[in-house]
Amino acid sequence: MAMETNSCQQLQIFFLPYMARGHSIPLIDIAKLFSSRGARCTIVTTPLNAPLFSKAIQKGEIELVLIKFPSTEAGLPQDCESADLIRTQDTVEKFIKATFLLAPQLGKVLDEHRPHCLVADAFFTWATDVAAKFGIPRLCFHGIGFFPLCASLSVMMYQPHTKSSSDSESFVIPNLPDEIKMPRSQLPVFPNLDGESEFMKIVKVSIESEERSYGVIVNSFYELEPAYADHYRKVFGRKAWHIGPVSLCNEAAEDKAERGSIEISTAEKHECLKWLDTKKPHSVMYVSFGSLIQFADCQLLEIAMGLEASGQDFVWVVKKEEKDVENWLPEGFEKRMEGKGLIIRDWAPQVLILEHEAIGAFVTHCGWNSILEGVSAGVPMITWPVFGEQFYNEKLVTEIHRIGVPVGSEKWVLSFADVSAETEASVRREAIEEAVIRIMVGDEAVEIRSRVKELGEKARRAVEEGGSSFLDLSALVGELNHLLEA
């Protein structure tokens, strides 16, 4: 796609989102935020990921430059351009390899267009060096908040888990503002690997690349994690700007409905919202595990049984296609649940659902976006972490803010691809039933709701004019504009 080089002094920023919806969605919002502050924003992505950005492009908020995803070069099927399509660990590795092969193409794009700044996902560990070749500052986007960033850096630095005698023995994560304990079984596997493993090398390169970058953009707001926002900057010495929750930049229902959806849809198309309109305030559970996780049938069956036994109404997002044999549902489940429960087998308009007043709680895998969206909507959570930094995020929700209760997920899995192959459910129906009742009924539920509502109001204030995130974004835009004048 042809584009002029920067002839005038409008700030021009290029964005390189990681090819996974959980990473791309917030980066689109971030590009829109910069655009609202007068910057010309361009997304660099691949053809099959481009539809994610089409709405913002149509509205003239962002532009697009296409590069080729090297699927076949990495041994992937030709149409595999998104981590959302990965189902096996072998494919995870090939996918990572493909993303490393993107570096030369990014170099060409930067050389041709010479933007003033590159915002690239932290998984592109090579992006700082590629941008540096053209004298372009690179901002790093992790997609997660200050708390998980600090916790993972502390674990990496102090290796506290190596002193535990077993995987189930809890250790304290050293040198954090709060005493956070967790067992080794909940740790991302990378700190356990020795320094020379391939994965550890990537992690090390990623940290170095972040340290050498111009700074870090964080999708968070100061009031959510003040001690950790300070810790990350002062103790870990990172230059960082918090500008979230970025999902709140979507004000129109249509924009919220289309967030992350590949095909353009409208809010009206979503039957679930009409269904929610018929329900009492705070009476429905929203159950969703993000864009990547596809639980095995044995686990889905436990969820179905737990939800039914709880007696609470629910909307449950299951990443299953109609053609999949439905042996993950108990006999007669959907008939019995008519009027009580709704299963969405597609992409759900999550932000709109969470903001609906009928929603009483959110069963979440603790993806960072989901947590921020739950907090912004003032919805109590049942935490069910599975992989990545999700076990850290659970601590923020259940222990630091006490705005959710844990379902009792105990063991980290190497990758989301592994959960679909499990032969035994890791969380039982009784635990699900118990957590659902605890979060929906009784005095504790009322207290949790009141705490999360208060935090949700703070989230909204943070992005309003004069709020902490609004001001940090102003500071970042001001600094980048200053660079441009220098």
Interface ranges with ligand UDP (CB under 6 A): 21-22, 25, 259-260, 288, 290-292, 317, 347-348, 350-351, 367-370, 373
Q: Is residue 316 within a helix (H) or strand (E), and if so which, with residue range?
A: strand 313-317
- Kindly tell me which of 105 and 261 has the beta carbon lying closer to ligand UDP: 261
Task: Write the CA distances from 412 to 74, 183, 189, 389, 426, integer angstroms.
Answer: 27, 10, 8, 9, 10
Rounded Cα gap, residues 232 and 240, in angstroms: 8
Q: Tokens at residue 268, please? A: 């009206």
- Kindly tell me which of 21 and 449 has the beta carbon lying closer to ligand UDP: 21
- Kindly tell me which of 105 and 370 has the beta carbon lying closer to ligand UDP: 370
Looking at the DSSP bridge assignments, the partners of residue 43 are 15, 64
Do residues 245 and 376 touch, judged by C-beta distance below 8 A? yes
263 HSE (CA, 13 A, CB side)? 6
Least Å distance, CB 388 to ligand UDP, is 7
- Kindly tell me which of 350 and 469 has the beta carbon lying closer to ligand UDP: 350
Least Å distance, CB 21 to ligand UDP, is 5
- Kindly tell me which of 260 and 360 has the beta carbon lying closer to ligand UDP: 260
Least Å distance, CB 352 to ligand UDP, is 9
Task: Please state at what angle helix 226-234 crosses helix 146-158, rounded to 10 degrees.
Answer: 50
Least Å distance, CB 406 to ligand UDP, is 17
Q: Is residue 134 within a helix (H) or strand (E), and if so which, with residue range?
A: none
- Kindly tell me which of 250 and 468 has the beta carbon lying closer to ligand UDP: 250
313 is catalytic: no
Reduced to 3 states, what is the DSSP secondary structure of residue 347? coil
Task: Write the CA distances from 380 to 55, 275, 281, 344, 404, integer angstroms.
Answer: 31, 21, 13, 21, 5
Least Å distance, CB 288 to ligand UDP, is 6
C-beta nearest to ligand UDP: residue: 22
Do residues 21 and 82 touch, judged by C-beta distance below 8 A? yes
Q: Tokens at residue 227, please? A: 């001690």
How many other CB atoms are there within 10 angstroms of residue 237's CB atom?
8
Burial of 471 (0-12, 13-18, 19+ CB in 10 A): middle
Nearest to 418 by CA among 460, 377, 388: 388
Least Å distance, CB 221 to ligand UDP, is 16
Which residue out of 29, 84, 121, 297 is catalytically annotated? Answer: 121
How many other CB atoms are there within 10 angstroms of residue 86's CB atom?
20
- Kindly tell me which of 171 and 295 has the beta carbon lying closer to ligand UDP: 295
Burial of 351 (0-12, 13-18, 19+ CB in 10 A): buried
- Kindly tell me which of 35 and 288 has the beta carbon lying closer to ligand UDP: 288
**Under 8 Å CB-to-CB from 448, ≥6 apart: which residues?**
380, 402, 403, 404, 405, 439
Least Å distance, CB 187 to ligand UDP, is 18
23 is catalytic: yes
Least Å distance, CB 141 to ligand UDP, is 13
Rounded Cα gap, residues 181 and 178, in angstroms: 9
- What size, in residues, is the chain? 486
Active centre residues (catalytic)? 23, 121
